[in-house]
Structure 1
Amino acid sequence: MGEIKNRLRKDLTAAMKQRDDFAKSTIRMALAAIQYAEVAGDQARNLSEAEEIAIITKEQRSRTESAQTYADAGRPELAEKEAAEADFLTRYLPQPLSQDELVAIVDAQMAATEAELGAKPTMRQMGAVVKAVNEKVAGRADGKTVAGLVKARINS
């Protein structure tokens, strides 16, 4: 069992003892998403920590997008609830990389790809570079941000 799932279960027990309905429902939602992923497919399996992080990240992003949708639709009470859930889920995610750290990782991967190819990477290699950087940052940076940085480095 992954570390995040264990932490969620411990926090659920604590929330139940404290009668914290908000934390209880949010944690149950996250646990349900993880358990669904564990039983999806041909046979049940335990998820790695990286897979658990990906699930929590997806749930957090979904809540953030829902909050924006509710805010745009003039439903501030629902937007606040979704935003609070998204904020709550961030405590189960690894600390995000700073912009400088992310730029350093992108630059290192660009240099490695350039050394491998013998020439500066082009837009054809962008997907491979983005994939390699995303594997290194493992949920600590948004894929859209990584792709934007790689594209800027290729075009410069």
Structure 2
Amino acid sequence: MRADLRQDLTAALKTRDRVAIAALRSALGAIDNAEAVPVDSAQATGTDSEHVAGAASGVGAAETRRRDLTEAELRSIVENEVRQRTAAADEYERLGRVEAAERLRAEAEVLNRHLKP
């Protein structure tokens, strides 16, 4: 799914499709955030420095392997992005901001294409 999102982002950048670019960048950012290692586990792997508490030293000490997400987790993240956009579009529409609601619904549709089997 991530590769498909990145491929669609490249195509959207080439065609300058602002709606698709915004939706795809947001989804990829959410996936990147979900892959991040929690701060407490990242600190547990480092060795203490005499100068800075909790600091790691040595080559590669600052690098931590990111979490590997399953396809179901990726799907859940994209579904959540769609839900958030739909809820925000409903609220914008309620407030009379139809243009903003339409833009969010278009973004949700871009992401929805990746959820179809």
Using the size of structure 1 for normalisation, the TM-score is: 0.55
Q: Equivalent residue for 1:6?
A: 3
Return the offset for 1:40: 4.6
Distance 2:32 2:23 in 1: 14
User: CA 1:77 to 1:34, structure 2 compared with 1: closer, same or farther past 3 Å?
Assistant: same
Deviation string for 1:53-84 (max 9, x for gaps)?
00000010010000101111111111111111
Distance 1:5 1:28 in 2: 11
- Identify unmatched segments of 5+ residues in structure 2: 43-65
Deviation string for 1:82-117 (max 9, x for gaps)?
11111111101134xxxxxxxxxxxxxxxxxxxxxx
Distance 1:81 1:19 in 2: 15
Q: Counterpart of 1:38 in structure 2: which amino acid? A: E
Q: Equivalent residue for 2:24?
A: 27
Is residue 71 from structure 1 mapped to residue 68 from structure 2 by the alignment? no
- Identify unmatched segments of 5+ residues in structure 1: 96-156
Q: Counterpart of 2:20 in structure 1: which amino acid? A: A
**Counterpart selection for 1:51 from 47, 53, 73:** 73
Q: What percent of counterpart residues are identical?
A: 45
Distance 1:15 1:88 in 2: 11
Q: 4+ residue runs of structure 1 moved beyond 3 angstroms?
A: none
Q: Aligned residue pairs: how many?
A: 92
**Counterpart selection for 1:15 from 9, 12, 15:** 12
Using the size of structure 2 for normalisation, the TM-score is: 0.72
